Amino acid sequence: MNECANNLEIIEKPDVNFRRRRIIGRLRQFLAIVCLGPLSLGSSLSWTSPVLPQLLEQNSTNLTYHRANFTLSIDEGSWIGSMLAIGVLISAIPSGYLAGRYGLKKSTIALVIPNLLFTMLVLFASDVYTLCVGRLLSGMATGGISVVGPMYISEIAEVSLRGTLGSFFEFLIYFGVVFVAVCGAYVSYTTLTIILGAVALVLGFIFCFLPESPAYLIKKNKREQAKTALLFYRGESFNVENALDEIYERVHKETGRKVNVMLEFKSKAVVRGLIASVGLTVFQQLSGIDGVTFYTVYIFQAAETELNEYTSAIILSTVQLLSAVVVIFVIEKAGRKIFLYISASGTCICLAALAAYFHLKLVGITFFGMGAIPLASTMVYACAFSAGLGPVLWMVNGELFSPAVKGIANGITITANWVCLFIITKTMPVMMDDVGPHITFYFYAACMFFCVIFIKFCVPETRGKSLEEIQNELRS
C-alpha cells in the first residue's frame, strides 16, 4: 500500500543506474494507470455525443462502414444514454467485493469482457433494444473501472506520486472523451465502437503482465510475490522488507476485523469517510459535468451561435484534456481542499454565466460578443472542473477508507455517483425543454455554491498523509 512508501528505504549504492531504475519504476506506475481502463471509461461517457446524432439524423452512412437500418427518437436516444448508469449501478458494489476476494488484477482483466460484448452488440444492432443492452454492458465495465481503478492506484502509488497518478487517471478519462469526439466526427458509429473495443482488448492484454496488488498478495500469504510487485513499481534499488512487514501487519489485522464488516461501517472513521466521499461525488454530478458531456452538441445547438456545434464540442473536449494535463503537474502543489474550493467556485461562476446568456437570449437582449459566451463559459467551466472536482474525487475514493471496507465503501460511493449521473443525464434535456436552459444552469450554479460550504465542513485534507494518518484523523 502507498502509505508504506514512506518506509521504503533506498539502498545506498554508488550505482550510476539508480536514477534510471527509479524512473523505470515510476513509468511502470503510469503504465498501470493506462491499463486500468480510464480510456474506456471516458469513451463510454462521450460515446452518445457523436453516435446519437448519426442515428437520429440518419447520418450513420456518412463514412460507409455500416449502414444503419433503423433510427431513434429523442426519447429512445435518452434511454441509450442513461442505460450506461444502470449498468454501473449493477456492477459497482459487486466489483468492490470481487476485487477484494479475487484480486484487483483479475477483476481488471475481467472488465474487458463486457466491453467486447458491447462492441459486438453495437456492430450487429438492428433496434434500440440491442443498443440499450450494449450500453448496459458498457456501463457494467465502466462501473468496475470506477471502483477498481482508484483502489489499485492507492495500493501501488508512492505517496509523492499519489496525487499525480490520480490526476493522470482523470486525464486519461478526458483523453477518451476527446478521442471519441474527434473520431466520431469522421467515422461511422460502428467503426468508432470497433476501435474502442480493440483498445480495451489490447490494454487488458498488457495488464496481464503487470503484478497483482502487494496487499492482496500478502493477504494470500504470497510474500515473495508481493516483494516482486513492490520492486516492480519502486525499482530494484529499494529495500522493501520494512514495507512488506507493515503491509503484513496491517492487512492481517484488517482481515481479522472483516469478520464484522457491518460493525466497521458504524465506526466514526468510516461514517465520516462516507459522508465526505458520497457527498463529494453527489456534488460532482450536480456540477452537471456529465450532462454537458452527454449532450454537448445539443447544448450548443440550443445556444444558436455562429460556430458549428460539432466544432464547439471538439474544442470543449480538447480544453478538458489540456486542463487535465496541467493538473497532473500542479495537483501536489497545494492541498486537496484548495483545489476543490477553486473548482467549485469556478464552476459556479461559469454555470451562472451560461445561464445568464440563455436568460438574456430569452428576453431578447443582445450585445457585441455575446455569442462567445457559451463556448467561453463552458471552456472555463471544463478547466475549473478539471482542477478539483474531477481528479480529487478519484483520490479521495482511494484514500479515506481502510482495506477492510475500501472495496464496499468505494462501491457505495460509485453507486451514488451513477445514480446521480442517471438523474442528471435523463433530466437535463427535459429541464432545458420544459423550464428553459437558463433555469437549468442557474440550478447547477446554485448546487456548486452549496458545494463550497460542504467542502469547508465535511471534507478532510489528505495531501501528503499516509492512509494510516488519514484514518487516525477521521477517528479523532
For residues 78 and 157, membership in a common domain is answered with yes
SS3 state at 55: helix
CA distances from 64 to 190, 248, 394 (A): 10, 57, 39
pLDDT at 358: 94
pLDDT at 264: 66
Residue range(s) defining the domain that contains residue 196: 18-58+69-210
CA distances from 37 to 31, 138, 212, 287, 387 (A): 11, 12, 16, 24, 21
Q: Is residue 5 part of a domain?
A: no
pLDDT at 5: 44
CB of 389 closer than 8 Å to CB of 289: yes
For residues 301 and 180, membership in a common domain is answered with no
pLDDT at 59: 43
For residues 197 and 269, membership in a common domain is answered with no
Task: Calculate ∠ Cα 12-17-22, nearest 5°.
Answer: 75
Query: Based on the structure, what is the number of domains in the chain?
Result: 2
For residues 279 and 371, membership in a common domain is answered with yes
For residues 30 and 158, membership in a common domain is answered with yes
Tell me the CATH number at 185: 1.20.1250.20
Which DSSP helix (H) or strand (E) runs through 42? helix 38-46
CA nearest to 229, candidates 134, 218, 448, 283: 218
For residues 204 and 323, membership in a common domain is answered with no
For residues 272 and 187, membership in a common domain is answered with no
Asked which of 210, 228, 256 is the last residue of a domain, the reply is 210
What cell does 454 get? Answer: 460542504
What cell does 417 get? Answer: 455517483
Backbone φ and ψ for 446, nearest 5 degrees, come out as -65, -40
Q: Is residue 227 part of a domain?
A: no
For residues 316 and 201, membership in a common domain is answered with no
> What is the rounded CA–CA span in Å between residue 293 and residue 289?
6
For residues 177 and 287, membership in a common domain is answered with no
Q: Is residue 197 part of a domain?
A: yes
Q: Is residue 7 part of a domain?
A: no
What cell does 317 get? Answer: 473536449
pLDDT at 253: 65
CA nearest to 185, candidates 87, 24, 63: 63
What cell does 418 get? Answer: 451513477
What cell does 245 get? Answer: 512487514
Listing DSSP states for 429-461 in one string gives HHHHHHT-HHHHHHHHHHHHHHHHHHHHHH---
Q: Is residue 316 part of a domain?
A: yes
Asked which of 210, 225, 251 is the last residue of a domain, the reply is 210
Asked which of 166, 194, 210 is the last residue of a domain, the reply is 210
Q: What is the pLDDT along the chain (476 residues), one digit of tens a residue?
A: 444 444 444 444 445 566 777 788 788 889 999 999 999 999 998 898 888 777 875 444 443 344 456 777 777 777 888 888 899 888 877 887 888 888 889 999 999 999 999 999 999 888 889 999 999 999 999 988 988 888 888 778 776 777 778 778 878 888 898 899 888 878 888 899 999 999 999 999 999 999 988 888 888 878 888 888 877 887 666 676 776 777 777 776 655 554 456 666 777 888 888 898 899 999 999 999 888 888 787 788 788 888 887 788 889 988 988 887 888 788 778 888 899 999 999 999 999 999 999 999 999 898 888 989 999 999 999 999 988 898 788 777 777 887 777 777 877 887 788 789 889 988 887 788 789 999 999 999 999 999 999 998 888 888 777 777 787 788 77
> What is the rounded CA–CA span in Å between residue 54 and residue 73?
12
For residues 296 and 361, membership in a common domain is answered with yes
Nearest 10 degrees: CA dihedral of 102, 105, 106, 107?
A: 80
pLDDT at 260: 57
For residues 273 and 206, membership in a common domain is answered with no
> What is the rounded CA–CA span in Å between residue 398 and residue 409?
10
Listing DSSP states for 41-94 in one string gives HHHHHHTHHHHHHHHHTT-TTTTSS--------HHHHHHHHHHHHHHHHHHHHH
Q: Is residue 229 part of a domain?
A: no
> What is the rounded CA–CA span in Å between residue 321 and residue 235?
30
Instruction: Report the amino acid identity of residue 285.
Output: Q
pLDDT at 353: 95
Q: Is residue 74 part of a domain?
A: yes
Phi-psi region of 210 (alpha: psi -120 to 50; beta: other; left: phi over 0): beta
Q: Is residue 251 part of a domain?
A: no
> What is the rounded CA–CA span in Å between residue 316 and residue 178?
9
For residues 203 and 109, membership in a common domain is answered with yes
